[in-house]
Amino acid sequence: MTRWGEPFRESGALATAAVVDQAQIAIVVIDRFSLLRYWNPFARELFGFVDGRDYAGLSLLDIGIHESDREHASQLARRVLRGEPWEGTFAVLRGDSTWIHVRAQAVPMRNESGEVDGITLIAREALRSGRVEEQYGLLERIGSRLSSSLEFDSTVRGVAGILVPQFADHCFIDLYDHDRLVRQVSMHAEGWTPPPRTWFDVGEEVRYPERHFVTQALRRLETVVSSEYLFETSPSSRSDQVSRQVGVTSAIAAPLRARGELLGVLTLALSGLSPRQKSTYGGFDRDLVGAIASRVALAIDNARLFEEERSTALAFQRSLLPSKLPSLDGLVIAHRYLPAGPLQAHGHGVQTQVGGDFYDAIPLSAGRVGLVIGDVEGRGPHAAAVMGQLRAALRAFALADREPADILRELDEWVRQLGQEDEDGGTWIPSVSCLYMVYDAWSRELSYANAGHAPPLLVTSDSVEKLDLEVTDRMLGVRAKGGAGEDVVYHQADLSLPTGATLVLYTDGLVDRRPVGGTPDPDRALGRLAERVSEVADKDVDEIAEAAVHSVPGELDDDTALMVVRTHYEALALREGWFRSEASTVGEARHLAANTFKEWGMDRDQAELACLLVSEIVTNVVIHATPHPVHREFTGAGVLDSETPSGFGGAADEFDEDWTDLLEAVAAEEADEPAESEDKEFLLRLRRGASAVWVEVFDNDLRLPRIRSAAADDEGGRGLYLVEQLASRWGSRPTPDGKAVWFEMPMHDDGVEEAEKDDEE
């Protein structure tokens, strides 16, 4: 034979191509771009090529190289194209979804000028021949597999997947749970599954007879090979029958010991499930499995320790976040938190990552809702601790009905007080991005302030795009980094959301994921996120949240917080009216409230209580209303009020409820000063939610009310006390032109409803 495809000169009877076609070894030719150009019939059988599919021109990786070995195969190609031969083993996922290990030799192909322009790959199935060098290669592969994972399930299943079917037809891993031996892995060749209630299944407690070879291995703490009397000590007759039917010929049991503790046992067996040259294990196999078991035991122990540490860290992390958000009128919310993957820290091994991403939904006054998403710079326990303190402070400020910009200003000061000394003797202060929004479901108005956080996605029936935020200020904590004298002012703005709009709020961990073998591309990731969300935009919020967290592939190098907020107008109603601050209007305001509560279907008793409280807070307004409007401005430096009206003392004075001035006296004063009373007005606003009503009264008085203790002979001073005792919640908040006093009252008496249900039963 002189050239490829020419016959032998001596006989001329057999062409080289025919020899290659009949060879029981795979031959594959790849060009310098790693694209397939030729394969013989045995290669098609070995790699499990799918009939009818044309593999010509496909990449080497497309013949089914297992994902765990793709980088290995790429290195093979690069090395051979440099002119060096290569020999090694890699895993192949076949077309029928089974996978095997392939032993391959690769040599460079050179053209007439001597340049490498391709690769010839000669391959066969590995490990079934019993060759010693292949068995040592098995030990190397298992060590590599164990070192690549700290997750318990993937560790034990990965080892079993390497051993079956190349070295064994059956693999069992049983581990102790206290004093019980429980099966963790049961894997068999050729996809075979033992009949029910024969061999122990995963999750079942395993009990071996006293004379069983596994019991001997555990008692002696040494690897035991058994090729005789296998069926005489079976755990049960059904187990013995299945063992005979499948043709078990030999088995090895190796105890799993790590750090002086017996963790369990690894058992391997040969049977008639797959063809192989050897049918029994020998002394070399016993030593090899013993070495494998020691590595597996250490990996299992490490995985358990790591998962325990990770579980503790994540429990700490999740305890700092809301586990369940409250039911909110006008909103449906889904939330997700994804911890970052393990971090390979230089000199400190693999470490669990906790982070500082956070979210929250806070019920505010009169049915409004505070929505927050944020991210503390860095990772680790300190970032998580900063996040916990920051979220607690934000919630406290929000429940006090502070304005968004005012809250961020306070949080900026708070963050700078949480700094730590660094190695250079300075103070490290974390940077924190935070978006805080207040949503009013009745008006669909959204007030917000933004400290350097990415805008959420706005999902409507027509599109998915970034929410247009008019203002975005610097992150919290950056003032100290910028040096003395630098000031940060936080602004706020308002916008209206379309009917039925959905917001997707997220932290940068979602779009900064690192593709396998690549670098993060946030812009591209954001496009994938928007595309995936648009596909499920008409689904419920939980489905949108699931689609969002899985929309961007890649490694989780940073934790991720996500909230999906959908607005709706169901079960909401609003009615309001302006009234002059006169004694005669108290009855008018109460009449409006009574008619409205009746129209809304409120329980009669609840409506009467609510009308009583309406009278109390409206009376306070009539008595104490400021005759001239006062303007209040919320700035980055705080709340600035215009000049205090004469006769009311300082604007910072608290509203002191004093009932000594009765309504009759007020009416008399109004008669003496008719011109002045024309300027005094208040707004009564009634809101209905799914199960509660809110009452708000707005006036131009800057002073916030407080409860005072009334003496036995005082004629007043008990109004706000009644409000506190009878309402579900009550409070007051400053407004740009004065204040608002509000209370919440359930529409139905739960106690009455429960009693009625009991009577019916």
Lowest mean pLDDT, pick from 108-117, 226-235, 668-677, 684-693 = 668-677
For residue 554, tell me if it sits in a domain: yes
Tell me how far CA of residue 44 lies from CA of 10, 60, 119, 636, in angstroms. Answer: 31, 13, 17, 72
| Helix, strand or coil, per DSSP, at residue 303 | helix
Model confidence pLDDT, tens digit, residues 124-152: 776 554 455 455 566 666 766 666 566 67
Q: What span, in angstroms and rounded, lies between the C-alpha atoms of 342 and 349?
A: 10
Q: Which residues contact 578 (CB under 8 A, 6 or more apart)?
A: 681, 682, 683, 684
Of 716, 741, 721, the C-alpha closest to 731 is 741
* Cα gap 568→571, rounded to integer Å: 9
Is residue 743 assigned to a domain?
A: yes
Question: Distance between CA atoms of 689 and 364, rounded to whole angstroms?
Answer: 14
Structure tokens at 423: 């190695």
Residue 397 lies in a domain: yes
Quick one: pLDDT at residue 140?
65
pTM reported for the whole predicted model: 0.62
653 has pLDDT over 50: no
* Stated length of the chain: 761
599 CA to centre of own chain: 44
The closest of 626, 652, 654 to 641, measured between CA atoms, is: 652
Tokens 């060098």, located at residue:
133
Model confidence at 655: pLDDT above 50: no
- Write down which residue in 259, 279, 311 finishes a domain: 311
Which band of pLDDT confidence, cut at 50, 70 and 90, is reported for residue 755?
Answer: very low
Average pLDDT (367-377) is 93
Average model confidence (pLDDT) for the chain? 79
Residue 477 backbone zone (phi > 0: left; psi -120 to 50: alpha; other: beta): left
Asked whether residue 684 is assigned to any structural domain, the reply reads yes
300: Cβ contacts below 8 Å, ≥ 6 apart = 152, 155, 156, 175, 256, 258, 263, 264
Q: From the CB of residue 370, how many other CB atoms can be counted at a distance below 10 Å?
A: 23
**Domain check: are 150 and 261 in the same one?**
yes
Is 484 within the bounds of a domain? no
Q: Are 314 and 357 in contact (CB under 8 A)?
A: no
Whether the Cβ atoms of residue 695 and residue 742 lie closer than 8 Å to each other: yes
- Asked if 295 and 386 sit in the same domain, the reply is no
Indicate the range of 230-234, 367-371, 498-502 predicted with least confidence.
230-234
d(CA 46, CA 96): 11
Tens-place pLDDT, residues 700-729: 887 777 766 554 444 455 677 788 888 999
Q: Which residue has the tokens 């005072």?
A: 708
pLDDT at residue 301, rounded to an integer: 85
Angle at 296 (CA atoms; ends 292, 301), nearest 5 degrees: 155
Q: Is 601 left (phi over 0), alpha (psi -120 to 50) or beta?
A: left
In-domain check, residue 713 = yes
The pLDDT assigned to 352 comes to: 53
**In whole angstroms, what is the distance from residue 110 CA to residue 387 CA?**
61
Within a 10 A sphere around the Cβ of 177, how many other Cβ atoms? 10
Give the pLDDT score at 756: 47
For residues 462 and 354, the model is more confident at: 462
Reported as a single tens digit per residue, the pLDDT across 616-633 is 889 888 876 544 444 555
- Say if 152 falls within a structural domain: yes
Question: What tens digit of pLDDT does each residue of 87-104 get?
Answer: 777 777 776 666 677 778
**349 shares a domain with 460:** yes
CATH for 50: 3.30.450.20
**Segment holding 472, helix H or strand E:** none
| Contact yes or no for 740/365 (Cβ under 8 A) | yes
Average pLDDT over every residue of 664-688: 67
- Rounded to whole angstroms, the Cα distance separating 677 from 302 reads 79
Q: Average of pLDDT values for 238-254? A: 87
* 221 and 343 inside one domain: no
Distant-in-sequence, close-in-space partners of 275: CB < 8 Å, separation ≥ 6: 128
Which of 95, 127, 159 represents a domain boundary (last residue)? 127
Domain holding 256, by residue range, is 133-311
User: Of 684, 697, 730, 679, whose CA–CA distance to 589 is shortest?
Assistant: 684
What CATH code is carried by the domain that includes residue 207?
A: 3.30.450.40
* Amino acid sitting at position 492: Q
Whether 504 and 601 share a structural domain = no
Residue % of the chain over a pLDDT of 90: 29
Specify the CATH number for the domain of residue 718: 3.30.565.10
Reduced to 3 DSSP states, what percent helix, strand and coil does the chain have, rounded to the nearest 5? 35, 30, 40
pLDDT tier at 348 (50, 70, 90 boundaries)?
A: very low
CA distance 433 to 453: 5
What's phi and psi for 550, nearest 5 deg? -105, 10
What whole-number distance in Å separates Cα of residue 226 and Cα of residue 214?
9
Phi first, then psi, for residue 523 (nearest 5°) are -65, -45
Same domain, 120 and 172: no
Q: With left for phi above 0 and alpha for psi between -120 and 50, is residue 86 left, alpha or beta?
A: beta
pLDDT of 6 reads 52
Q: In terms of domains, do 92 and 167 share one?
A: no
Task: Give the pLDDT of residue 307.
Answer: 75
Q: Are 544 and 608 found together in one domain?
A: no
Number of domains in the chain: 4
Q: Which residues of 32-69 are buried (b: 16+ CB within 10 A; e: fewer)?
A: eebebeebbebbbebbbbeeeeebeeebbbebbbbebb
Q: How far apart are CA 470 and CA 604, in angstroms?
A: 46
Are residues 215 and 109 both part of a single domain?
Answer: no
| Domain containing residue 452: CATH number | 3.60.40.10
Backbone dihedral region of 517: left (phi > 0), alpha (psi from -120 to 50 degrees) or beta? left
Radius of gyration from C-alpha coordinates of the chain? 38
Q: Which two tokens stand for residue 268?
A: 């391997």
**Quick one: 365 and 462 in the same domain?**
yes
Question: Do 527 and 599 fall into the same domain?
Answer: no
Helix, strand, or coil here: 53?
coil
> Rounded CA gap, 369 and 292, in Å?
58
Residue 536 lies in a domain: yes
Confidence band of 645 (pLDDT split at 50, 70, 90): very low
Amino acid letter, 595 = N
One-character DSSP codes across 175-187: EEETTEEEEEEEE
pLDDT of residue 717: 55
**pLDDT confidence band for 527 (50 / 70 / 90):** very high
Sign of the alpha-carbon dihedral angle for 463, 464, 466, 468 = positive
Among the candidates 548, 567, 586, a domain finishes at 567
The pLDDT tens digits of the residues spanning 267-320 come to: 999 988 887 777 888 888 888 888 888 888 888 888 788 777 777 776 777 777
Residues 330, 436 within the same domain? yes
- Overall average pLDDT of the 377-401 stretch: 85
Handedness of CA 720, 723, 729, 732 (dihedral sign): negative
**Structural contact between residues 376 and 432, judged by C-beta atoms closer than 8 angstroms:** yes
